[in-house]
Structure 1
Amino acid sequence: MKNKRYFALIIMLAITSIGIAQGPPGLGPPSPPGLPIDGGLLFLVISGVLYGVKKKFKN
């Protein structure tokens, strides 16, 4: 019984958050041009790999 309530709560929160996230159509400022994410993404990938290697060899 308790699991059904948790499941129902999660479903209700998911549905309401999706409904709130969608704004009204046609309103709002125009979207800016696409921005490149190359440099930042490459930095994050390299730092993640280096951190993983460090953790792997430390243990």
Structure 2
Amino acid sequence: MKKLVSLFSLSALVFLLSLAITPVQGKDKDKGGPTDAPIDGGASLLLAGGAAYALRRINKARLNKKAQL
């Protein structure tokens, strides 16, 4: 189960990082046409870190509950 959680966390992190470098369309001031602008990666890194932390806390709580039984 631990390997599955680690694999899921890693794949989620890679997915979120790929979203962070995806360009979005903006207007070019000179031509009036679209231009590429990167999305800020800080928010996605915070989201990935929070998800990993939550999964870790859930896993520890589950293991503590098993140990008490």
Scaled by the length of structure 2, the TM-score of the pair is 0.36
Higher relative contact order (CA 8 A, sep 6+): 2
Q: Which has the larger radius of gyration?
A: 1
More strand by share: 2
